Structure 1
Amino acid sequence: MEVPKWNVEVQENNIVEGDTITVFFEAKIPEDWYMYSSDFDPKLGPMVTEFNFYENEQFERLGNVEAIGQKKKYDELFEGEYTYFTKKAKFKQRFVIHSESPDIKGLVSYQICSDVNGQCIPFESDVAVFNNVLKKPLDTAKSDADASTPMVLEAFDNDFETTETEGQGLSFLLTFFFISFGAGLIALLTPCVFPMIPMTVSYFTKSNTSRKKGIAYAILYGVSIIAIYTIVGTLFSVLFGADFANFLSTHWIPNLFFFAIFIIFALSFFGLFEITLPNKFVNKIDSKSNKSGVLGIFFMAFTLVLVSFSCTGPIAGTILLQAANGDTIQPIVGMLGFSLAFALPFTLFAVFPNWLKSLPKSGGWLDTVKVVLGFIELALALKFFSIVDQVYHWDILNREVYLALWIVIFAFLGFYLLGKITFPHEQKQQKTSVGRIISALLVFSFVVYLIPGLVGAPLKALAGYMPPLSSQSFVMNSPQVTSISNNTMKTAECGVPKYGDLLELPLGIQGYFDYTQALECAKKQDKPLFIDFTGHGCVNCREMEATVWSDPKVLKRLKEDYVVVALYVDEKTELPEKEWYVSAHDERLKKTIGGQNLDFMIQRLNANAQPYYTLVDTNGSLLNAPKGYDLSVQNFVEFLDNGLEEFKIRNTKDVLVNSDSEGVNHNPIIN
């Protein structure tokens, strides 16, 4: 068995001489092994974990090392209770720094035992806190007396996995895959692509003497199309990965750029102009497709992608821009789904050429598909402008205005399908087909569904794409008004919520927007803390609030059983300079509310996707594993109930410990 490696982390940033720091020591424990803790009587027999620091004038210890998140067990052999760790061991120690170059080193002695064979192995490991370097304050012009060290929140101490579960991530990616697959099928119905299906298939059925060889080439052709689009998605993912996603999804520059791009896509579909690649480049690629063999087939696929770009570019671009708001893998999944649907008919019709007879003939209906896509692109463009409006509090595109624009856009789409509106590049329809009438009925039904939203209907199916209901000035029979009073008095006990003039919780929930203030309130009310890592531009957050939070069972628990804090990771409001700090995660300056909330989430929970719901007790310890996007009301109720039950159990244990022990603190405290 290898000697466990100890990781050392200092809680504070920008430390100067005279500061008090908190240092965390953490070791990973192998599976089926456990480590004894440090807070039980060593006379019992097991070897306690002991830290010995080499004392010098450069630092001073404050108190003893504290164990965090350990378990307790009664051992009949030793006739007493001892504490231990599984999976990982964590301790903390506080120091006062007396030097600009402190040399804090020590030796930790401990014992690890096996659950399988009962074997116990003692170890000794060296630990070092600093590399003899302290960071100066951000504003070096200030004197040491005026310099202020920003408060950085302590880690959540827990025995739970804090990353998103595989099931949640897989479910979201599968949904995005099928949406992209549907977009690929729609792209096939555009004028640039549909006529090319029989042309391309005829090449494979006529140019090869062997049908077997033709089928093999057709499959290779389809695989090449998938590879080309997936490579684009991979490059997009590498260039604009997860660290860049928050910037893309919330900053005004990319979102206004995306807004403009979608408007351009819509105008292109309306026939105002065509988005094409340079002819010289397309012709050069096409000339290489004349080569025989595998390489020639690949360049044929590349030529198809380029020639159809004026129709598929806006659709594929829409998928990539939507994926920019998610994880690094999302653009790859999106392009894989899109290209699979796009390549499928070319391959299938080449393998089964008789199917071509069942295809409808090209005609004006293809132009209709393009125009319909133009209206959809126009509606989607508003989402990007809405994100900027919410993040920067412009209050231009509130919910009423957003809904009014959608109602007008889709009403125009309905009139277009009925033949009441004709674009310059189209011929006026003499008769309206049954298909267009049915499509128009569906569109007008959607418009009717939108209209009640103007007076505050939740429109749950579209909650993720709408500005929050709180941005609406008039809401008929608003639950926000009728259900606040009981919770307001409890909130008042803890003072006015910090940043309450900028931010708001949905559904009349009274809570906070600053973690420290919320934790203090949880202590005063003796309630667990519900942390909502959210964002203005988070589609899934709005959908969770409208679909899950709004359920009476969930809403009752959030209002009565928990203190709620919403930590917006994309809030751009800049904090006072004394609260700025440089992150230990990416060594970048964090000076906005959202920047610090996101940094807190990444460092303490190893997660950066929203929504992310976390339950902690009044000491800052996790009550259960955090929860991500999940539209099951029952799952969310169980999540809240399990957290509350664990909170009550810990409170009962604390009462027993405080009454039976001599002031030993078994729970970590966030300072």
Structure 2
Amino acid sequence: MAQLKRLSVFIVLFISGLAFAQSDDTPSIWNHEVKKISDTEYELIFSADIYKEWYIYSLYTAEGGSMPSEFDFIGAGVDYELIGTTVEGKTYKKYTEVFDVEETFFKEKALFKQRIRLLKPDLKQISITLNYQICKTVCLLQQEVFEISLDGNTFIASEQKLDARSLAMTNALKLDLKNKEILNSGNENGSSSESGVWMVFGLGFLGGLIALLTPCVFPLIPLTVSYFTKQSKNKSKGITNAVLYGFFIVLIYFLLSLPFHLFDSVDSQILNTIATNIWLNIFFFIIFVFFAFSFFGYYELTLPSSWANKMDAASTKVGGIFGIFFMALTLAIVSFSCTGPILGGLLGSTALAQGSVATNLSFGMTGFGLALALPFALFALFPAWLNSLPKSGGWMTTVKVVLGFLELALAFKFLSNADLVGNWGIFKREIFLGIWIVLFVLLTLYLFGVFRFPHDGPKQKLKIGRKLTGLLSAAFALFLILGLFNMASLKLLSGFPPPDFYSINETESDCPLGLDCFKDFEEGLAYAKANEKPILLDFTGWACVNCRKMEENVWSDSRIYTLLKEDFVLISLYVDDRKELAKEQQFDFQYTPGRIKAIETVGQKWGTFQTINFNAASQPYYVLLSPDLEVLNSAIQYTDIETYESWLKIGIYNFNE
């Protein structure tokens, strides 16, 4: 289990590393100051404002847990000496199941104090480095370098200086918001994430049921149940062992999700991280294509056979409860060639759901394990049911091929994300829908026996189940065709195809639903002032699934659409837009304590704009403002029609008042 846990941790770190490889934003802003105690003693104070829901680990967090923060006092012991240990401000504690320790961390505000005594009386400046990790959905390894002047009780935040143009553009990016304190005052943060986790649980359970029908799992059901009922001394003992076996299956899949809780305590979806990184989307596209062709029978995915052999040997040697556990673990390993691609799809589904990735994945994996485990327990309780099970055969190969086509469809979703974010203009809405139509037409032809794959057995008469699945695939292909020609609504697929305005055909508006919108804040603000209308500030993303769901399911409602069209100035700012700014619009942005970053793309500009003014980094994120920059209501995110309508009307009322 330790090896599996480390493997899962590696996967999480790999994904998070790729996702943030091109990130320029650090969700904390550092300051420091010097207090002179005497001619030779000083107190150094380091503080950080931490963005909402992010946290930084303490210097003294428990060993064996997450990486603690660490100061490197350069020159200590030679130029100066430390007096006592570093004192911290208010911290919080939380038990972490992954490491089995209670971890200590800062949220909202981090504070460190260290007293020093000079060994060289003429020392005027010292350098100190802080290495730390800041976590939300993922953990970012960060470093702050402090150049501290001891002369004149002042400090130097950075030796870098902005030119006059960059300084002016830096200042222009900061808004003088009025009534800002109400931004987070309400509970209008959208629908409860409970619906998201139960949706993922349902998807996981469905995935587990599908996995049962694969040739890696299905034949094991009667064999395993028969083993428990025949090898046990009495019937009740056999039933107990079979139920225990099922419980351990659920437990194993749940445990595989625990490493993702390294990045706990957030509600933003990992999709908002994944979807803004082109290369990670391409990576997922390749992985899902790889999974699909394994289901088509061109090769087989397996974990090292030695793993299964060791687990099987352990189950025989240990016996008892632990032996049953190792039998369950053996099942998880030997069935990987069928369950691995399905679990990959489950990971993709957690990216499309509302809520914390770690929580979503735990619910999904638990649902998956429960579906796998149920037959072993039920057939042990009612062994006569085994006679009603269909025989293993070619129908299981058909199940794998259907799954392969579904994996391909999901693969093109990730490639579409890369296209949207990169502004390539290749996978327009019509192209994407066309690819899906081809995939489901091919699936239909396969199901009706028009062509075959390498691992298909001898050609036989089509069974009723295969025919019905073929008809369902054909119906879905027809549904897509009607949607392609605007003869049917594709709201059911909201968030999967590119938005309507990302089209081959020239459209009157490149804004959602044909609304009038601005994609530059200053232009939108000027228009709002001229027309004396309130502003709906929409922080969105090209590849943001929940943004598309809001636009296609909430904004499209006649009540909402009318309000947006007639009563508001819509400003949509795409924080994941990789389009380069014109050279004259590129500049260096300086945070308050002096840290500097280059603003070179549209997304960098609006992403920074969102974090420094609204202390938020997730999308969709909606703010209501007056033309005089007064906040009219608390900020809101993904939600339902009734809540959103009420939120808009309160904003209009406050604007009129």
TM-score, normalization by structure 1: 0.68
1:201 aligns with 2:225: yes
Secondary structure of 1:190 counterpart? coil
Instruction: Tell me the distance in 1 between the aligned counterparts of 2:552 and 2:302.
Output: 41
Question: Structure 1 residues 243 and 170 mapped into 2: Cα distance closer, same or farther (>3 Å)?
Answer: closer
Matched residue, 1:354: 384
Instruction: Tell me the distance in 2 between the aligned counterparts of 1:621 and 1:12.
Output: 24
Matched residue, 2:647: 639
1:318 to 336, 341, 345: 345
Question: Structure 1 residues 443 and 146 mapped into 2: Cα distance closer, same or farther (>3 Å)?
Answer: closer
Matched residue, 1:402: 432
Instruction: Tell me the distance in 1 between the aligned counterparts of 2:593 and 2:549.
Output: 30
How many Å apart are 1:513 and its aligned residue?
Answer: 2.2
How many Å apart are 1:417 and its aligned residue?
Answer: 1.1
Matched residue, 1:506: 512
Note the 1:249-288 alignment, pairs <5 A: 249-288=275-314
1:153 aligns with 2:197: no
Instruction: Tell me the distance in 1 between the aligned counterparts of 2:219 and 2:201.
Output: 26
Matched residue, 2:473: 443
Instruction: Tell me the distance in 1 between the aligned counterparts of 2:656 and 2:575.
Output: 30
Instruction: Tell me the distance in 2 between the aligned counterparts of 1:223 and 1:600.
Output: 49
Instruction: Tell me the distance in 2 between the aligned counterparts of 1:278 and 1:194.
Output: 21
2:203 to 179, 188, 199: 179
1:648 aligns with 2:656: yes
Matched residue, 2:253: 229
1:532 aligns with 2:535: no
How many Å apart are 1:219 and its aligned residue?
Answer: 3.1
How many Å apart are 1:621 and its aligned residue?
Answer: 3.7
Matched residue, 2:554: 548
Note the 1:252-651 alignment, pairs <5 A: 252-290=278-316, 291-324=318-351, 327-329=356-358, 330-456=360-486, 458-474=489-505, 481=508, 504-575=510-581, 579-581=587-589, 589=597, 591=599, 592-602=601-611, 604-605=613-614, 607-630=616-639, 632-649=640-657
Instruction: Tell me the distance in 2 between the aligned counterparts of 1:371 and 1:333.
Output: 27
- Tell me whether 454-463 or 246-255 shows the greater mean CA deviation: 454-463
User: Does the CA-based 8 Å contact 1:14-1:136 persist in structure 2?
Assistant: no
Task: Figure out how many residues of one structure are paired with residues of the other and give that number.
Answer: 503
Question: Structure 1 residues 545 and 247 mapped into 2: Cα distance closer, same or farther (>3 Å)?
Answer: closer
How many Å apart are 1:411 and its aligned residue?
Answer: 0.5
Matched residue, 2:74: none
User: Does the CA-based 8 Å contact 2:270-2:357 persist in structure 1?
Assistant: no
Which of structures 1 and 2 has the bigger CA Rg? Answer: 1
How many Å apart are 1:149 and its aligned residue?
Answer: 6.2
User: Does the CA-based 8 Å contact 1:162-1:606 persist in structure 2?
Assistant: no
Question: Structure 1 residues 606 and 338 mapped into 2: Cα distance closer, same or farther (>3 Å)?
Answer: farther
Secondary structure of 2:495 counterpart? helix
Question: Structure 1 residues 565 and 251 mapped into 2: Cα distance closer, same or farther (>3 Å)?
Answer: same
Cα deviations by residue, 1:202-237 (Å, 9 ceiling, x for unpaired): 222222224444333333322322222222222245
Instruction: Tell me the distance in 2 between the aligned counterparts of 1:452 and 1:385.
Output: 23
Secondary structure of 2:185 counterpart? coil
Matched residue, 1:105: none
Question: Structure 1 residues 335 and 580 mapped into 2: Cα distance closer, same or farther (>3 Å)?
Answer: farther
Amino acid at match of 1:444: A
Amino acid at match of 1:558: L
- Tell me whether 446-455 or 151-160 shows the greater mean CA deviation: 151-160
Identity across matched positions, percent: 42
- Tell me whether 594-603 or 453-462 shows the greater mean CA deviation: 594-603
Amino acid at match of 2:233: T
Matched residue, 2:157: 135
Amino acid at match of 2:303: L
Instruction: Tell me the distance in 1 between the aligned counterparts of 2:534 and 2:340.
Output: 49
User: Does the CA-based 8 Å contact 1:270-1:370 persist in structure 2?
Assistant: yes
Secondary structure of 1:469 counterpart? coil
Work out which structure has the larger RCO, using CA pairs closer than 8 Å and 6 or more positions apart in sequence: 2
User: Does the CA-based 8 Å contact 1:289-1:300 persist in structure 2?
Assistant: yes
How many Å apart are 1:245 and its aligned residue?
Answer: 5.3
User: Does the CA-based 8 Å contact 2:166-2:588 persist in structure 1?
Assistant: no
Instruction: Tell me the distance in 1 between the aligned counterparts of 2:410 and 2:231.
Output: 43
How many Å apart are 1:239 and its aligned residue?
Answer: 6.7
Amino acid at match of 2:297: G
Instruction: Tell me the distance in 2 between the aligned counterparts of 1:360 and 1:301.
Output: 23
Secondary structure of 1:470 counterpart? coil
- Tell me whether 205-214 or 534-543 shows the greater mean CA deviation: 205-214
Secondary structure of 1:465 counterpart? coil
Question: Structure 1 residues 562 and 315 mapped into 2: Cα distance closer, same or farther (>3 Å)?
Answer: same
Secondary structure of 1:289 counterpart? helix
Structure 2, gaps ≥5 residues long: 1-27, 33-48, 50-123, 126-152
Matched residue, 1:219: 243
Cα deviations by residue, 1:595-640 (Å, 9 ceiling, x for unpaired): 453455456555544323222233434323333323x434433332
User: Does the CA-based 8 Å contact 1:248-1:325 persist in structure 2?
Assistant: no
Instruction: Tell me the distance in 2 between the aligned counterparts of 1:259 and 1:232.
Output: 23
Instruction: Tell me the distance in 2 between the aligned counterparts of 1:511 and 1:621.
Output: 20
Structure 1, gaps ≥5 residues long: 1-10, 16-24, 26-99, 102-130, 485-503, 650-671
